Structure 1
Amino acid sequence: MKDKNKIIETLTKKLLERQEEAKVIRKIVGLIFISLIIIIGGTAVGGYLYVNSALKPVDPDDTKPVNVEIPIGSGVTSIGKILEEKGIVKNSTVFKYYVKFNNESGFQAGSYDLTPSMTLNEIVNSLKTGKVMRKAEFKITIPEGLQLDQIAEIIADHSPYKKEEVEKKLNDKKWLEQLKKEYPNLVTDEIDNKEIKRPLEGYLYPATYSFYEKKPPLEDILKEMLDQADEVLAQYRDSITEREYTAHQLLTMASLIEEEATEKADRGKISSVFYNRIEEEMPLQTDPTVLYALGEHKPRTNYDDLKVDSPYNTYKVKGLPPGPIANAGLSSIEAALQPEDTNYYYFLASANGSVYYSETLEEHNEKKAKYITNKSE
């Protein structure tokens, strides 16, 4: 009987202990639950206060106009970032969702005078209805296939700067070093090669550029062209790597294609000829490199021209020349990256611009006699 009572006491004691533990656990769980509610509630309140603040003007008392440029093709995200950088809105993400929530659209590119005191609604209405496009003070159009001295002349003809000033800046070693830091994927130590005639030859991308100041810094004019080159090549960064080329080598190959191509020419085939010859360790033998070595602009080379002693003379030196010989357009850049698959090792252009390709020297000479010597189709 005593043993039975002892067992009952023991069981009762353990039951009471478990009940006490359960109370403690319930208290802990309750505290955790309350803490989570406080944290979630606090976060929600904090988020609400932050968003509410971001919806208000940056500074209700600041009415000083800030010029904001919205480029053509800008989406809500990029517009929001521009406005935040200019101090017109507090948060670009809040601006984006404000626009989407209110189903706003129809924003237009242009030049706007906005103030930090404006509400989001006022900003949105300005971007939709207050478009005031500024007229460019001057424009510079750089065609494809031009050399740096020709480009310098065009810049001089359409800007406040003289050709000598442009050429001096393009050869300014201190500035070139700065460009390497600003364009690490484009301008590299390769331009320092002593055999290169002009460091930035081929780097000023062919396009039309608009300038809204009467006399912007010369560096800004040139960097607009470098920006465009950098932006174009960025699209092909993987392809450049796959071909085991650098940007400098790509621009060099593209410049050869650009200079050899005629209006009717197939750049992919010309590119294939160059690559086929490089693979067979044959000199490229492209006349534009000879003319570049001579520093002359003329339609054709003669026999004596081919004797010029220069690292650019691809009749004497195998492989690519030290650097580009002109600026190349997009079609030539793409051809340099994606040559056609051919067995051609020769090509020639007739007087009317037609280009003829050959697999053998014998075939090439026959076409030369027919289309060049006799000057007939």
Structure 2
Amino acid sequence: MSTSDHEKNKQADMHNNHNQTHEQVKKENFIKRCKEASTVRKIVASVLLLLSILLIVGGISGYFYIKNGLKPVDPSDESTKTVTIPLGSSTSQIASILEDDGVISNDLIYRFYVKFNNASQFQAGEYQLSPSMSLEEITEKIQTGIMMQDPVFTVTIPEGKTLEEIAQLYEKHANIDADQFMEKMNDQDYIKTLIEAYPQILSEEILAEDIRYPLEGYLFAATYQFYEKNPSIDSIVHDMLEKTQQVALNYLPQMEKKKGYNMHDMLTLASLVEKEARTQEDRERIAGVFFNRLNKDMILQTDPTVLYALGEHKERVLYKDLEVDSPYNTYQNKGLTPGPISNFGEHSVKAVLEPEKTNYLYFVAAPDGEVYYAETYEKHKRLVEEHLRRSE
């Protein structure tokens, strides 16, 4: 064999050995991948099994959770207890009260029950409820207002009333001392607790130095029922603020669109409109006049603010009254009053949010209830002389 043949054989052997090694590596890699795939399959199968078990257990638990929440707390316990639903309570608050008093087992389930059954119009008051009652029975009872007793006091607070007038109404109809009521209205520490409790409607703005009473205008005009002989001033104030919040928040999106005006401004304007107008048409038109004057940086010149500044109830505002030195006198100061001058009605809020668009800059509210409007000061003077003759 020649040297060249020997080299050729040697190279052939090396090539064969290389091929054998390559095949062996491929075989080992294949076996390794098979083992890894098997391991992955086992892990996936274990995870799927665990998830299946969790879903089954969760589904069963959820089923019994809902079932128990829908059942009476104790079908065998027919004893009754007094449950109080405060005025203005939301569905969530009612659900929490019912659970706390032990007549439903789960407030969350009850909220879903109320939502799915479109239940509404819950009535405030005191009810005799039992742990043996079904959700349907409880809901029906607090919807229809079948209460344990009639209210001890019913007090109607009309629109356009000041805090001092409201205090007198409670003194007359609910045995509340008017002076003590007003003392509470001037308690700065108490007012601060209310600002914390109702941050969506009350702000530090009501504590401004020029404000006569922080809560002026914030105690809503409505009929309130009381089921105890001696209701506290605090409970009365909370009932009224709850109602204010319930109404005002319905209009919050519209209020936020009024650039340059916040809720305090809107309620202040609503109180001015409330005192000036009797019909909705006039409310909307007067609100439009106020905005026209504010936009032109004109003073508002509205008589009810003068009366509020004077602290008097008068049939007529005299020329000398217009000179009263007060931040509430809109004949002497530009812009809005520091705060509302009375409570408001919902119709006045609507008017402020949707004022009639006109070119009127003046109006005269005559003693007979008619309102006369003018675009120019000259015409306004004639209307004043004709319909509102002031004297010294």
TM-score band (shorter)? 0.7 to 0.9
Distance 1:182 1:129 in 2: 30
> 1:195 corresponds to which letter in structure 2?
D
1:37-116 aligned at under 5 Å gives the runs 37-54=52-69, 58=73, 65-69=80-84, 80-95=95-110, 109=123, 111-116=126-131
Residue 228 (str. 1) matches residue 240 (str. 2): no
Deviation of 1:284 after TM superposition, in Å, equals 1.1
Match of 2:328 in 1: 312
Identity of counterpart residues, as a percentage? 41
Deviation at 1:52, TM superposition (A): 4.9
Residue deviations 1:256-303, cap 9 Å, x none?
A: 111111348611111111111122222111111111111110121111
Opposite residue 56 of structure 2, the aligned amino acid is G
Give 1:200-215 correspondences, 5 Å limit.
Answer: 200-215=215-230
In the alignment of these two chains, the number of paired residues is 370
| Cα shift at 1:359 | 0.4
Question: 1:107 touches 1:128 (CA, 8 Å); kept in 2?
Answer: no
Show the counterpart of 1:301.
Answer: 317
Q: What residue is the counterpart of 2:8 in the other structure?
A: none
Bigger mean CA offset, 60-69 vs 149-158: 60-69
Post-superposition offset of 1:211: 0.7
How far residue 128 of structure 1 moved from its aligned partner, in angstroms, is 4.4
Q: Contact 2:280 / 2:351 at 8 angstroms: preserved in 1? A: no
**Does residue 350 of the first structure (1) align with residue 362 of the second (2)?**
no
Establish whether residue 276 from structure 1 lines up as the match of residue 292 from structure 2. yes
The 8 Å contact of residues 264 and 355 in structure 1, kept in 2 or not, is answered as: no
Q: Which moved more, 1:12-21 or 1:139-148?
A: 12-21
Instruction: State the partner residue of 1:333.
Output: 349
Distance across 1 between alignment mates of 2:247 and 2:169: 22
User: Based on CA coordinates, which of the two structures has the bigger radius of gyration?
Assistant: 2
Superposition CA RMSD, Å: 3.6
1:285 and 1:314 in contact (8 A); partners too: yes
Cα 1:79/1:191, change in 2 over 3 Å: closer
Q: Which whole-Å CA distance do the structure 2 matches of 1:358 and 1:331 have between them?
A: 24
User: Structure 2 CA distance, aligned partners of 1:278 and 1:106?
Assistant: 41
Q: Which residue of 2 aligns with 1:189?
A: 204
Q: 2:376 aligns with which of 356, 360, 365?
A: 360
Shift of 1:338: 2.3
Which of 161, 164, 168 in structure 2 is aligned with 1:146?
161
Rate the CA distance shift 1:184–1:108 in 2: closer, same or farther, 3 A: closer
Distance 1:36 1:148, change over 3 A: closer
Shift of 1:88: 2.1
**Matches of 2:202 and 2:46, distance apart in 1:** 62
What SS does the aligned partner of 1:319 have?
coil
**Residues in 2 aligned to 1:190 and 1:100: alpha-carbon distance in whole angstroms:** 37
- Is the 1:264–1:353 Cα contact (8 Å) retained in structure 2? no
Alpha carbons of structure 1 residues 81 and 267: separation in structure 2 relative to 1, 3 Å: same
Q: Is the 8 A contact 2:293 2:361 kept in 1?
A: yes
Query: How far does the alpha carbon of each residue in 1:160-194 deviate from its partner, in whole angstroms, 9 at most, with x for none?
Result: 21211211111122211211111112222222222
- Aligned partners of 1:141, 1:322: CA distance in 2, in Å? 27
Partners of 2:88 and 2:246 within 8 A in 1 = no
Q: For 2:328 and 2:268, how far apart are their aligned partners in 1?
A: 11
1:178 is the counterpart of 2:190: no
Question: Structure 2 counterpart of 1:270, which letter?
Answer: I
* Residues 77/258 of structure 1: CA separation in 2 closer, same or farther (3 Å cut): closer
| CA distance in 2 between partners of 1:237 and 1:104 (Å) | 24
Q: Is the 8 A contact 2:88 2:242 kept in 1?
A: no
Could you tell me how far 1:351 is from its partner in structure 2?
3.7
Partner Cα distance (1:334, 1:370) in 2:
31
Runs of 5+ consecutive residues of structure 2 not aligned to the other structure: 1-11
TM-score (normalizing by structure 2): 0.81
Q: So what's the TM-score if we normalise by structure 1?
A: 0.83
Matched residue SS, 1:67: strand
The 2-side partners of 1:104 and 1:366 are apart by: 57
Q: What SS class does the counterpart of residue 363 from structure 2 fall into? A: strand
Letter in 2 for 1:275: F
Cα deviation, 1:304-342, whole Å, max 9, x if unaligned, reads 111212211111111112221111111112222222211
CA offsets, 1:1-56, max 9 Å, x none? 99599489747666655554444344333323322332223323333443454455
Q: Shift of residue 141 of structure 1?
A: 0.6
